[in-house]
Structure 1
C-alpha cells in the first residue's frame, strides 16, 4: 500500500474519512481508482480501501462510503443490496444500487423513451426458442459484472443455436433472468462509447469519454473466468451522444442530482444514432487515467458528497 492509502484503524482524527468500497481480490483497489487518492489527500480527506463484505469494517466510522470495485457481487446480489442498505452514507445511494444492479432497468428506461438496445427477457424456468432470423445475438444474465456469463451467437450457425439454448438453460437452472439482445455490428467498427459524469454543484457533469473495442468473440461455454481484457482509448463525445446521455440521466428514478458518478455506455444503433447498452451507477470503471484532470474531478465530486460537519 502507498502512504495515501490508510488502514481503517489509522485514519487521522478530525479529517473526513472516505471508504473506497472494493472486493477482497482488489483489496488495495483497482489501479485506476488509486489515482484519486492523492487529490483527496491534497484536500485533507483520508481515503482508504474497504472490502464490502469484511465483517470487521465499521461503516459508521466513515463520513462517506464510495462504491468503486465490489465486482464479486453478481452471484450474491441480495446480500450486496442488503449490505448497501445498511451503510449510513453510501454513494451512489442504496436504492440506486438496488435498481441498477438488475439490468431490467433497461426496460424501464426504454418505456420512458430512452433509445436502448432492444432487449428480450427470459425468466427462470421459461422455455426459450432462438429467434427465427439468422442474425447475431448477445445472451447474458440480468445481474452480472464485467462480461461474465456473456456470449455472442450467430443464429445462422446450427451449433451456435444449440449453444445459445444451452446458455439460457444454464442461467435458468441457476435461477437467473436472461437478457437476449441483437448484436449491433457497429461495435466492431465504431466500438462502444462510455461517457463519464461526475458530481458537480448542480448534479452530474460530463467529465470525459473513452472508446471500448469489441469484447465478445463467440459463445459462452460455461467455463469459469473473470473479466476479459478491454481495448480502451480516449474519445471525444459527440453532441448527439451527450444529448442521449442527458436523456438517460434525466430518467433515473429519484433524480440524477443524487449521483456521485454515472457512466453511460452507448453504441450506434441500426440507423447510426446512439442507443444505450448499459447505464453504470453502481461500480463502473471510471477510466480516470484516460483524461487529464479526471482524478481531481472525482476527488471534487467526492468532496461535494461529504456531509457538512459541525465546526
Structure 2
C-alpha cells in the first residue's frame, strides 16, 4: 500500500510537473537528443509507474521481500486487518481499479495508434513504389513530380525517402543536407517515436507529459535530424536548404512536412549550436535517463518514508 501510494505520487509528479523542467533541456548549446531521450524516457516511466500501482498492490513487495522495517510492516497489517483506519481498504480498492483501467486504456489506445501508423506507412510505401521513380544510385530514394521543394521520409519495414522535383534544382550541398536530414530520421526511427507520442497523447490527453510531449517530440526529432545533417554536411548547407524550403509558397508544402514549419527557429538553432565533444556524446542517454528517473526515485522515497513514519506514529 505504501509503495503504491509512492508510485501514484511519482506518476502525478511526472505527468504534471515534469514538462516544466523537461522543456528547459532544449537549448542550442545542448544536443537535441538529450531532451528527446528525456521526454521519451519520462513518458515510458510514467506508463511503467501507472502499471506498477496495481501490480504492487497485488504482489505486496513490502510483505513478501521485507523491503520496509518490520515495525512498519506490522503497522500496515494491523491497519488493514483491524480497521483502525476505516478508509484503508477503500483506498486500496480504488487504486487497484483506477490503475487497471488506466493501464488498459493506455495499452488499448497506444497499440491501436501504433498499428494504425504501421498500416498507413505500408500503404504509403506501396503507393510510392507505383508513382515514384527510384533513384538509380540510392535504392531507398524516390523522385516524385510536384511543385516546390518537397522532401520527406517514411519509416516501417521498407523505409524510403521522397524527393520532389524542386529538390533537384538545389545546390549539391543543400541537396545532400536534405538527404542527410531524412536519413537521420530513418536511422533514429523518428517516425515510430512520433507515433508513440501521438498515441500516448490520445490515450491520456489530460496529462501534460503526454499532451505537451507529443508536440515536443515532433519538434525535437526535427532538431535532432538537423543537428546530424549539420555534422555531416555543415550547418550552412542545412540552413540553405531550410531557407530555400521556407521561401516556397505554403500551398506547395507537403502535409508530411507540416511538423517542420518552425523554419526560422531551426535556422537560429543551427546558428547557435556548439559542437559536441565525442566524450560528451557518450553521456547523452545516461544524462537523459538520470534526469527522468531521479524525480521518480526522489518522490517515491519521500512519500514512502513519510507514510512509514506516519504509520509508525499511529502504531505507537
Q: What TM-score do the two structures reach when normalised by structure 1?
A: 0.26
> Which structure features the higher share of strand residues?
1
- By relative contact order (CA 8 Å, sep 6+), the higher-ranking structure is 2
Decide which structure has the larger Cα Rg and report it.
Answer: 2
Task: Please give the TM-score of this superposition, normalised by the length of structure 2.
Answer: 0.26
Q: 1 or 2, which has the higher helix percentage?
A: 2
